[in-house]
Amino acid sequence: MNREMQGLVFALVGTVLLSSKSVMVKLALNMGIEPNVLMGLRVITSLPFYFMLAIWLMAKSQFKVKRKLDLVYAGLLGICIYHAAGFLDVLGLQYISASLERLVLYVYPTFVLLLSYVFFRRPITPRDVLTLIVVYIGLALVFGVDLHNQGDQVIKGTALVMCAAMLTASFLLGSQKLAPRMGSQMFSCVAMMVSSATIFAQFLMHHSIHELKVGWELLFLVLLISVLGTILPSLMISAAVVRIEAARVSVIGCLGPVATVLLAMQFLDERLTLPAWVGMMLVIAGIFAQNKFKDKAQQS
């Protein structure tokens, strides 16, 4: 298998695994686990990996932090994405389908566009406006179907996940210069370790340590969420970017919502109506077009 094919395989498998996280989290919630307990268990099962990776990077002299303030910023951004956004996402999944949750998160590039305009005065072109209209018409179609089928709880769940998508966009903007300066892997390790501390502190504020004792089925599912839904996808997508262009990886990433829907149909018995399928395709098309426009603008 040549280098390009390896990159495509890594991108595809990483995208599918990342898409499976919503389904696995929804399965865990359906089994009765409380969101704080789920977050606490995820920390316990994933933190050792990032801790060992940080030690390995330092041993390899890849620790690029030149300013101590960078560590503080990396920690704050970690709290933003892994703690705040992650917790809001889990809360939202209590009220909406995994398919809608993944689609709402998928529109985070639109928040990147809007926040870039508000804070950095980056212009919004007529083509950007068109993609925004297409994306949110599509999202409104899927939202409307779920609202009709599941009731007003969908409004609460969508709002929570939308906030998570906005925090994701904020994280990406905040890490654009910091991650290359520190090294992307070390940046991720610092962000994850700091957010793990705040997640566990939040757990201890509301629960006893004994509540982490769950059945082996739930524990195994949480382990899958950490390994298959978080750690492996991040490694595979990073490996894909090294082997092929980031733009091609993002194209494969468009399969993410479709993969989530298919997995949700298989494991959660979720069903999408024709209007919902149309809405999802509009969202994917809009985000794809926005990414293409951005790539062309960067090349010119």
Mind listing the pLDDT tens digit for each residue in 106-157?
Answer: 999 999 999 988 888 888 889 999 999 999 999 999 999 999 999 999 999 9
Q: Does position 8 have pLDDT exceeding 80, yes or no?
A: yes
Q: Residue 300 — very low, low, confident or very high, per pLDDT cuts 50/70/90?
A: low
Q: Does position 281 have pLDDT exceeding 90, yes or no?
A: yes
Query: What is the rounded average pLDDT of the residues 254-270?
Result: 92
Q: Residue 62 — very low, low, confident or very high, per pLDDT cuts 50/70/90?
A: low
Query: What is the rounded average pLDDT of the residues 214-221?
Result: 93
Q: Does position 262 have pLDDT exceeding 90, yes or no?
A: yes
Query: What is the torsion angle, in degrees rounded to the nearest 10, for the CA atoms of residue 28, residue 29, residue 31 and residue 35?
Result: 90
Residue of 240 and 19 predicted with greater confidence: 19
Query: What is the rounded average pLDDT of the residues 55-82?
Result: 82
- Percentage above 90 pLDDT, the chain: 56
Q: Quick check: 78 and 195 in contact, CB under 8 A? A: yes
In the prediction, which pLDDT does 120 show?
84
In the prediction, which pLDDT does 31 show?
93
Q: Does position 239 have pLDDT exceeding 60, yes or no?
A: yes
Q: Does position 222 have pLDDT exceeding 90, yes or no?
A: yes
Q: Report how far residue 283's alpha carbon sits from residue 286's, in angstroms, rounded to the nearest whole number.
A: 5
Query: In the predicted model, what is the mean pLDDT of the chain?
Result: 89
In the prediction, which pLDDT does 26 show?
96
Q: Report how far residue 75's alpha carbon sits from residue 175's, in angstroms, rounded to the nearest whole number.
A: 11
Q: Residue 1 — very low, low, confident or very high, per pLDDT cuts 50/70/90?
A: low
In the prediction, which pLDDT does 166 show?
96
What contacts 24+ positions apart, CB below 8 Å, involve 126-129?
Answer: 127/289, 127/293, 128/290, 128/293
Burial class (CB in 10 A: 0-12, 13-18, 19+), 132: middle
Q: Quick check: 37 and 87 in contact, CB under 8 A? A: no
In the prediction, which pLDDT does 145 show?
93
Q: Does position 60 have pLDDT exceeding 80, yes or no?
A: no
Tens digit of each residue's pLDDT (9 = 90 or more) over 283-292? 999 998 887 7
Q: Does position 19 have pLDDT exceeding 80, yes or no?
A: yes
The per-residue b/e assignment along 6-34, b for 16 or more CB within 10 angstroms, e otherwise, is ebbebbbbbbbbbbbbbbbbbbbbeeebb
In the prediction, which pLDDT does 107 show?
93
Q: Residue 266 — very low, low, confident or very high, per pLDDT cuts 50/70/90?
A: very high
pTM for the structure as a whole:
0.91
